[in-house]
Amino acid sequence: MPDSKLQIVPLGGLGEFGMNSMALRYGDDIIVVDAGIMFPESELLGVDVVMPDFTYLEQHAEMVRGLILTHGHEDHIGAVPFLLSTLNIPVYGTEFTLALVERRLEEHGVLDQAKLNAVRPGDRIKLGPFSVEFIHVTHSIVASVALAITTPLGVVIHTGDFKVDPTPTDNVLFDLHTLADYGKRGVLLLLSDSTNVDRPGYTESERAVRPRFEELFSRAERRLVISCFSSSIHRLQQILDLAHEYGRKVAFLGRSMLNVTEIAHSLGLLSIPDSTLLRPQDIMQMSPEKVAVVVSGTQGEPMSALSRVAVDNHKHLYLQPGDTVVLSSRIIPGNEKAIYRMMNHIARRGADLVYGTMKPPVHVSGHASEEELKLILNLVRPRYFVPIHGEYRQLSKHVSLAQHLRFAGLEDTFILEAGETLEIDHLGARRGEKVTVGRVCIDSGSLDEVVEDIIIRDRRHLSEDGFVLPIIAINKNSGRSEGLPEIVSRGFVAGDNTAILQEARSVVARTLETSTPEERGDWGVMQEKIRTDLKRFLSKETQRRPLIMPVILEV
């Protein structure tokens, strides 16, 4: 690859939500921006998390100079332990982002060899031919940054996730001036968040939730239970301040909630008023009107704190009639059933549920809406534009937005999906060759528990058609079957003595009888013959195709 070519390689997060990861290559040098996970769709049975396939980076391991993290959400940092287990590269991010990463690395036993480098907005680092400046942006998690990546061909702006919040709760404004400065000097390529491109207007400020929370704190006559994303430090700060103001003590429930609040407090990002904290074990002993409980588990995850509270299965909190439960979060697509089921359990306990869209809101998004995306495009005025972070419909709409603005200097726009590359040189920009990408499914969150496609296929097969287990006892001396074969089934037909299974036993017996002594002496051959004949019979009789696993016992 010639030294004068810049290659943009999306490894995940384009054409899908989650798994955000992108490589930039110039000559023999590569930097990686983010390494996130996504939570599995319902058809990925038994899979806990899904991460990008990092084959491209492993194939060019000697070229990878470092990993740069924009912020601490799981869809941007969740796959860091998996990447660092194969590539020993330095990691750069803000102090809070790296503190969240440390917890993940510790869980996976790869913290000792990790090279973590904390940066602040305004800092610059140099990695090979790349110079990276960190630019403060506002988002639903603190310490988020955009990246200005200077390459020999020009500047690439990567926005990360953002919204333009004019009144952030910590009073640290989005650094629009630095973006505008780069725009004046000339930007080669803009990579911009597309999550909320289909929402008109502006995303509301984080402060917009305060009036609703004030109303809830003043109106709730009993216990107030609030569930929000554990990473929403700004929201947690407002809850703590209001609890102090209205004379309530606050308890945190849920492992992620406890971890993140502890980290944020230790870094001075979360201020806890004196005498406000309440130990979880003391919740039920306090007068209900004096308690606010902040719980993780907004998405109805089966073993999360809120899911357990909803069915009276939490050791520190059970709901009582008149309690108020607030879901201060959005429903992530795909989680609707689990969340509504959890909400039904809460309602059955006589609690008042507050959720959904209302004015004033109980939740605001952390992503930019249409007008903010226009603002960034107009400030940066890139020569080329590639939308990132979204499904194809969002990427397509974001490109239309850029084309309709018709600002001076925009030469071309590209819609890329994971694996589709963009090449830029002194002649211009064009699509490059595709690279190997894909999904790696993980069970139990362990580095060793990679789930192959064939396992997912078998799980789906089992879930749809069940399995049939023909058990045959063969005399090792005579090679003959000892009595009629037994057939065990699960998820196929009810009971083991139905007519269809009796006929199936006869089919297996016939297969054994019509086989030669030589075939009967080769168990591999016999298993395949039994599977084929039984499959044909069951498919013809039931129009179903259960998983057939013949078991041959030597007696």
Q: Quick check: helix, strand or coil at residue 237?
A: helix
Residue 193 known to be catalytic: yes
Residues 286 and 430 occupy one common structural domain: no
The contacts of residue 299 (CB under 8 Å, 6+ apart) are 329, 331, 332, 335, 338, 339
Would you give the end-to-end CA distance of the chain in angstroms? 64
Assess if residue 460 is contained within a domain: no
Kindly report the CATH number assigned to the domain that includes residue 130: 3.60.15.10
Q: How far is Cα 387 from Cα 517, in angstroms, rounded to an integer?
A: 66
Return the exposure string of 138-170: e unless at least 16 CB atoms fall within 10 Å of the residue's CB, then b: bbbbbbbbbbbbbbebbbbbbbbbbbbbeebbe
Task: Confirm whether 459 is domain-assigned.
Answer: no
- Cβ pair 51, 14 in contact under 8 A: no
To 5 degrees, how large is the angle CA 341–CA 343–CA 347? 120
Say yes or no: 531 and 548 in one domain.
yes
Residue 471 is inside which H or E element, if any? strand 467-474
Residue at 349 is within a domain: yes
Number of domains in the chain: 3
Alpha helices of 418-468 — where are they, by DSSP H?
453-465
Q: Is 522 a catalytic residue?
A: no
CATH code for the domain in which residue 307 is found: 3.40.50.10710
Q: Which of residues 329, 354, 379 is at a domain's end?
A: 354
For 330-358, give one letter per residue: b (16+ CB within 10 A) or e.
Answer: bbeeebeebbeebbebbeebebbebbeee
The helix/strand/coil state of 4 is: coil
The pLDDT of residue 303 is 82
Q: Which amino acid is at 66?
A: G
Q: Are residues 193 and 215 in the same domain?
A: no
Nearest to 50 by CA among 354, 439, 553, 404: 439
Rounded to two decimals, the pTM is: 0.83
pLDDT of residue 502: 83
Q: Is residue 548 part of a domain?
A: yes
Do 194 and 243 reside in the same domain of the chain?
no
Question: What residues make up the domain containing 383?
Answer: 6-201+365-451
189 and 276 in a single domain? The answer is: no
For residues 288 and 313, membership in a common domain is answered with yes
- Nearest-10 crossing angle of helices 370-380, 392-405: 50
Domain assignment of residue 350, yes or no: yes
E strand segments, 72-152:
90-94, 115-119, 124-127, 130-137, 144-151
- Following DSSP, what letter does each residue of 135-172 receive, concatenated? EEEB-SSSSEEEEEEEETTEEEEE--S-B--SS-TT--
- 3-class secondary structure for 260-283? HHHHHHHCCCCCCCCCCECCHHHH
Q: Of the residues 136, 158, 345, 367, which is catalytic?
A: 367
- pLDDT computed for residue 436 by the predictor: 87
Tokens for 276, please give them: 């406000």
Residue 461 maps to a domain = no
Kindly state whether residues 500 and 369 are assigned to the same domain. Answer: no
Same domain, 340 and 214: yes
Q: Do 253 and 291 lie in a common domain? A: yes
Please indicate, yes or no, whether residues 398 and 509 belong to a single structural domain of this protein: no
How much is the pLDDT for 2? Answer: 47
- Tell me: cis bond preceding 168? Omega within 30 of 0 counts: no
Tell me how far the alpha carbon of residue 95 is from its chain's centroid.
22
User: Cα(369)–Cα(329) distance, rounded to whole angstroms?
Assistant: 17
Instruction: Count CB neighbours of 485 within 10 A.
Output: 23
1 occurs within a structural domain: no
Marked catalytic residue, from 165, 193, 323, 533:
193
Residues 221 and 284 grouped into a single domain: yes
Residues with Cβ within 8 Å of 249's Cβ and at least 6 positions away in sequence, in order, are: 243, 275, 276, 277, 278, 286, 290, 291, 292
- Say yes or no: 75 and 117 in one domain: yes
3-class secondary-structure state, position 227: strand
In a domain, 432, yes or no: yes
Residue after which a domain boundary falls, among 420, 451, 482: 451
- pLDDT by position in tens, the chain (length 555): 445 899 999 999 999 888 999 999 999 999 999 999 987 665 555 566 788 999 999 999 999 999 999 999 999 999 999 999 999 999 999 999 999 999 999 988 899 999 999 999 999 999 999 999 999 999 999 999 999 999 999 999 999 999 999 999 999 999 999 999 999 999 999 999 999 999 999 999 999 999 999 999 999 999 999 999 999 999 999 999 999 999 999 999 999 999 999 999 999 999 999 999 999 999 999 999 999 999 999 988 878 999 999 999 999 999 999 999 999 998 877 788 889 999 999 999 999 999 988 889 999 999 999 999 999 999 999 999 999 999 999 999 999 999 999 888 899 999 999 999 999 999 999 999 999 888 887 765 555 555 556 666 666 667 777 888 888 887 766 667 777 788 888 777 765 557 888 888 888 888 888 888 777 777 778 888 888 888 888 888 888 888 888 888 876
Domain end call among 328, 354, 380: 354
Where residue 548 sits, what CATH number does that domain have?
Answer: 3.10.20.580
